[in-house]
Amino acid sequence: MRFCVICEVREAKERHHLLPRARGGSGYRTIGVCRECGKGIHKTFKNKQLENNYNTISRLKEYYYDNGCQWKKGKDKKDKKIKEMLDYNDREIRRVMGWFEDNYGK
């Protein structure tokens, strides 16, 4: 088994183009990465950023380790959590109001 070049802990199951294919990287160097890193890289960066700033293993690794071994920035995760909480509150309010209407409504 080969390990992911970036995180070095998960199995490398896919190839990542250091220069995005959309930016002419088809014949360019690829590296073996795990699914999490493969997806994470593209969720985190736009092709333009990959082409200009994150086109080497060391730059990608630096970002990954500086960000606490995760891809998306902490802020995005927090925003998602808050959104989930608000959605949950909305559902609860509707549920309770429905209950009141059923029991005390006209």
Instruction: Tell me which residues touch Zn ion (CB under 5 A).
Output: 4, 6-7, 10, 34, 37
CA distance 74 to 94: 31
Whichever of 73 and 91 has its CB closer to Zn ion, that residue is 73
CA distance 14 to 30: 10
CA distance 91 to 53: 42
Whichever of 43 and 83 has its CB closer to Zn ion, that residue is 43
Q: Which residues make beta-bridge pairs with 34? A: none
By DSSP bridging, strand 14-17 and strand 30-33 are: antiparallel
Q: How far is the CB of 21 from Zn ion (least distance, A)?
A: 20
Q: How far is the CB of 33 from Zn ion (least distance, A)?
A: 5
Q: How far is the CB of 8 from Zn ion (least distance, A)?
A: 7
Whichever of 58 and 103 has its CB closer to Zn ion, that residue is 58
